[in-house]
Amino acid sequence: MRRPQICSTFPSGRHGTLVVSCALLLLAGPALGTAYADPPEAGPGGSPEGGRPGLEQIRKDIERLHDRAESATDAYNAAEAAAKRQQKHLVSLAKRIDTTQGRLDRLNDTAGAMARAQYRNGGMPPGAKLVLADDPEDFLRGLSLAHKGQQATRAFIGTLTKARSSLRGDAEDAAEQWTKLEKTRKKKAAAKKRITAQLAKAERIESGLKKEERERLRRLEEDAAKARQAKWLDSGALKGAGGTASPAGRRAIAWASKQIGKDYVWGAEGPDTFDCSGLTMRAWEAAGESIPRTSQEQWKRLPHVPVNKMRPGDLIIYKRDASHVGIYVGDGALLHAPRTGRQITVEGAGSMPILGVVRPDK
């Protein structure tokens, strides 16, 4: 017999703040009398007779494949973010190159006009003409004009040289950025290949199961999550916790709560589908805070807080490689986008291995 799972969003507390309350009996762990689905009888090596893995082993295999896909998704998202930055820089460089080239063309035209004017005057430098002048006043007046002309010429040559140097530098920078972009695109393609390969393996395993086996597999996944949650709560991890959400944290939770039920899609950041870090990024963006795109960067760049000091709205980072993230909503519960084939939901915050907690608005 499966336990009911009821999630709701409602205002509570003295200040009428928005919280997510989830009547998840999974937060308390398995209850007495819960019917667990047993895998087929295993033979040597953990496989049932005939060499086929039991459902519990299948569950672990599928979980491992999705973990790998999620790690690759973080790599894909990082490459996507880098590619966007590099493309933006390239566009900026292209505009600068175009502007500088236009300026250089005009300067070259001016230089040509100056050369033609000197040719029309017999090619004699202005200084030589002054020395040969008959009238002393004309000589002095011309000397002043010649000095100004020399200054203008030096300034012109300096401007021309600077424009050429700037154009050359921007062209070299653009070539370097293009090389980086090509490398980033290759990383992105490689990550996508790894993601699709892992998900295809998981899909092949599940598609090979009968309908009743898939149902039992889902119950095994839920029971494993409940057991991990119960163990986490029993460890006293939340002892001393009980902080209230900040105004921004409440806004992030309110926005994320409206996404419950939407599909997880790797690499997605809304508005109709999300991956785990796409959801947390958008939730905190709606709260007025800009945070990194990937869970790994969120872990690296956001302030860390102890687990027993976390408050609703904080982000919980999961797994050793920081490849999963969700929003803590209080009472030991997490709102997150789980994985491919699942929808955004609320479940036990301890149902996965926690790496740590970060606070976007500290």
Structural domains in the chain plus CATH codes: 11-29+237-362 (3.90.1720.10), 60-234 (1.10.287)
- Confidence check: pLDDT of 253 > 90: yes
pLDDT at position 38:
39
- Confidence check: pLDDT of 36 > 70: no
How many other CB atoms are there within 10 angstroms of residue 179's CB atom? 11
**Identified catalytic residue from 7, 22, 66, 336:** 336
pLDDT at position 216:
92
pLDDT tens-place string over residues 9-31: 333 343 333 334 443 333 334 33
At 70, the amino acid letter reads E
pLDDT at position 14:
35
7: annotated active-site residue: no
pLDDT tens-place string over residues 95-126: 878 787 777 677 677 666 666 665 555 555 55
**Identified catalytic residue from 7, 22, 66, 324:** 324
User: Alpha-carbon distance 169 to 163, whole Å?
Assistant: 10
By DSSP bridging, strand 333-336 and strand 5-12 are: unpaired
CB 288 within 8 A of CB 254: no
- Those residues whose C-beta lies under 8 Å from the C-beta of residue 34, and which sit 6 or more positions away, are 1, 3, 223
User: Alpha-carbon distance 330 to 143, whole Å?
Assistant: 84
**Identified catalytic residue from 7, 22, 66, 276:** 276
* Phi then psi dihedrals of residue 7, to 5 deg: -115, 140
Task: Give the confidence band of 6 by pLDDT, cuts at 50, 70, 90.
Answer: very low
- Confidence check: pLDDT of 295 > 90: yes
The mean pLDDT of the chain is 78
pLDDT at position 175:
83
User: Alpha-carbon distance 56 to 79, whole Å?
Assistant: 35
Task: Scan for tokens 């039992």, then name that residue.
Answer: 216
- Confidence check: pLDDT of 321 > 60: yes
324: annotated active-site residue: yes
* pTM for this prediction: 0.66
Average pLDDT over residues 211-232: 92
pLDDT at position 362:
74
